[in-house]
């Protein structure tokens, strides 16, 4: 027993709260009761700092307002790069199914709609998505 330190067990809720305070400095505008997903809180902090909508999960996924350095762009790119079966016609269902594991509650449909919209605008093309991402939000 002397060879091993005491085991500390911490629940995800306390770790998420610590991350929000210690790493993000409380800059996330999404209420912690809405989600404890650190990805969403980090994105919210980045959006708030850039003056983009940041007070809800759906607002963070508004690609017309998302800052260029927002991690939400990685989510859209993920669906382009991992569409191995070329299921473009079934993208709405494909995206909703993938998002279910990322989210705790009913924001799945609204976020899926935003991702699907940006993919359609960019014609499901990664280089077009990157060009769209680099545009000023006023012109998206």
For 17-64, strand residue ranges (E) read: none
The answer to whether the beta carbons of residues 94 and 71 sit under 8 Å apart is no
Residues 96-136: pLDDT tens digits? 777 776 666 567 778 888 998 999 999 989 999 999 999 99
Give the percent of the chain with pLDDT over 90: 44
Q: How much is the pTM?
A: 0.72
Q: What is the mean pLDDT of the chain?
A: 84
Residue 33 is encoded by which pair of tokens?
Answer: 């009761």
What is the maximal distance between C-alpha atoms in the chain?
A: 64
Residue that is written with structure tokens 């935003």 in the block: 114
Angle between helices 91-100 and 108-121 (to 10 degrees): 140
- Nearest C-alpha neighbor of 82 from the set 97, 61, 64, 69: 97
């Amino acid at each position: 027993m002397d060879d091993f330190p005491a085991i500390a067990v911490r629940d995800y809720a306390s770790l998420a709260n610590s991350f929000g305070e210690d790493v993000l400095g409380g800059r996330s505008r999404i209420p912690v009761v809405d989600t404890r997903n650190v990805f969403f809180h980090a994105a919210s902090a980045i959006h708030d700092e850039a003056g983009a909508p940041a007070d809800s999960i759906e607002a963070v996924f508004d690609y017309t307002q998302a800052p260029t350095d927002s991690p939400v762009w990685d989510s859209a790119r993920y669906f382009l790069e991992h569409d191995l079966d070329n299921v473009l016609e079934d993208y709405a269902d494909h995206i909703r199914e993938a998002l279910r594991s990322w989210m705790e509650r009913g924001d799945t449909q609204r976020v899926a709609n935003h991702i699907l919209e940006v993919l359609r605008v960019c014609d499901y093309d990664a280089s077009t998505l990157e060009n769209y991402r680099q545009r000023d939000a006023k012109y998206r």
